[in-house]
Amino acid sequence: MEYTAQQIAEYLHGEIIGDPAVKVREFSKIEEGENGTLSFLSNPKYSHYLYESNASIILVNRDFEPEKEVKATLIKVDNAYESLAMLLSSIEQLKPKKNGVSALAHISPSAKIGINVYIAPFVFVGEGAEIGNYASIDASGYIGENVKIGENTQLHAGVRVEKECIIGKNCILQAGAVVGSDGFGFAPANDGSYRKIPQVGNVVIEDDVEVGANTTIDRATLGSTIIRRGVKLDNLVQIAHNVEIGENTVIAAQSGIAGSTKIGKKCVLAGQVGISGHIEIADGCVFGAQTGVPNNVKEPNSIMQGYPAVPVGTFRRASVVYKNLPDLQRTVNELQKQIENLKLVLGNTKH
């Protein structure tokens, strides 16, 4: 389908700079823009691509002012990146959705399947499971006993949801995600071995959550591991037993949260962040890449980095010192030599 700049601007409540009749049929990156495509610019450091791009329409932030002539028609919006997401979502929703249950799927007779559900070949749905309206489960998915899947939730290929777990509405679980595997619970015995502690709780994922590919969320020992509404988990994230993650928190790839930790609302964890167990993180905290958090963070909206985690300003100052350590070591060695020489001189003077 083709859309004019006028149609797009009306949908986004944007301001057109250029030809309102120009049409686009697909999207492109700004540096690879071609005639008939729509692109966007949200980060000013990439603005040089704007003047070279052959895209027909480019979304820009409302406060952006070009420094020279632009070939494309511009649409000024409050937030170019968010507006692009709105357009992509709208077009995605127009695509026809699959529905129907494959004859190659195994559905327990006691399972409840909603209307317009899609269940692909080689999916297993266990006893007492409930699949909400318009949900979809791609090939080789596993839905355990008494699992509940909310309306319009998408489970991509190979997702495993173990028994008793609950997933809300409008969630997306990317390929290979595992929800409800046993938590890492073992009791040390007197002979040095470890006795497994049965994990009899579950996982509760609220509405509008996205779980990345090959991410694992362990079931609680007792009670529930809870992922609150709007949380976004990247690929390869590990969430341990009895963890609770607050609403709209975002966690990037290869991060790990140890057992029984509670993370507040609207926190941001960059890649490879590690959070110790049995601690609490206040709302709005931000942790830079590879940060290790061994203790409670009680101050909301803290921005921290390093191990152990310290305020980001302290971390940056310490990084400067760290880079200068070889020079500092040489200076210390030289000062030590001078002190020894002074001791010899003073010793000889006394005699």
Helices within 53-156 (DSSP H only): 80-94
Judge whether 175 and 193 are in contact, CB under 8 Å. no
Q: The tokens 């830079």 sit on which residue?
A: 288
Judge whether 300 and 285 are in contact, CB under 8 Å. yes
Model pLDDT, residue 94: 81
* pTM exceeding the 0.85 threshold for the entire prediction: yes
Percent of all residues in the chain with a pLDDT value above 90, rounded to a whole number: 88
Cis peptide before 308 (omega within 30 of 0): yes
Q: Indicate if 241 belongs to the active site.
A: yes
CA atoms of 288 and 303, how far apart (whole Å): 8
The partner residues of 68 in beta bridges, in order of sequence, read none
b/e per residue, 43-80, with b = 16+ CB within 10 A? Answer: eeeeeebbeebebbbbbbbeebeeeeebebbbbbbeeb
Q: Please enumerate in sequence order all residues whose Cβ is within 8 A of that of 168, keeping only pairs 6 or more positions apart, or say none.
A: 150, 153, 205, 206, 207, 208, 209, 229
Model pLDDT, residue 124: 98
Tell me which residues of the chain have a pLDDT lower than 50. none
b/e per residue, 326-349, with b = 16+ CB within 10 A? Answer: eeeeeeeeeeeeeeeeeeeeeeee
Judge whether 202 and 179 are in contact, CB under 8 Å. no
Question: Nearest 5°: phi and psi at 243?
Answer: -75, 150
C-alpha R_g of the chain: 28
Which listed residue (48, 106, 241, 351) is catalytic? 241
Model pLDDT, residue 320: 87
pLDDT tens, 28-71?
Answer: 999 999 999 999 999 988 999 999 999 999 999 999 999 999 99
Model pLDDT, residue 97: 83
Model pLDDT, residue 351: 58
Model pLDDT, residue 288: 97
Tell me which amino acid residue 28 is: S
Q: Which domains does the chain have, with CATH numbers?
A: 3-94 (3.40.1390.10), 159-308 (2.160.10.10)
Q: Please enumerate in sequence order all residues whose Cβ is within 8 A of that of 104, keeping only pairs 6 or more positions apart, or say none.
A: 121, 122
Give the tokens for residue 63.
Answer: 């406060």
Q: Please enumerate in sequence order all residues whose Cβ is within 8 A of that of 269, keeping only pairs 6 or more positions apart, or say none.
A: 249, 250, 251, 252, 255, 263, 275, 287, 291
Tell me which amino acid residue 345 is: V
Please, what is the Cα angle at 113 between 109 and 118, to 5 degrees?
A: 120
Model pLDDT, residue 225: 98
Model pLDDT, residue 302: 98
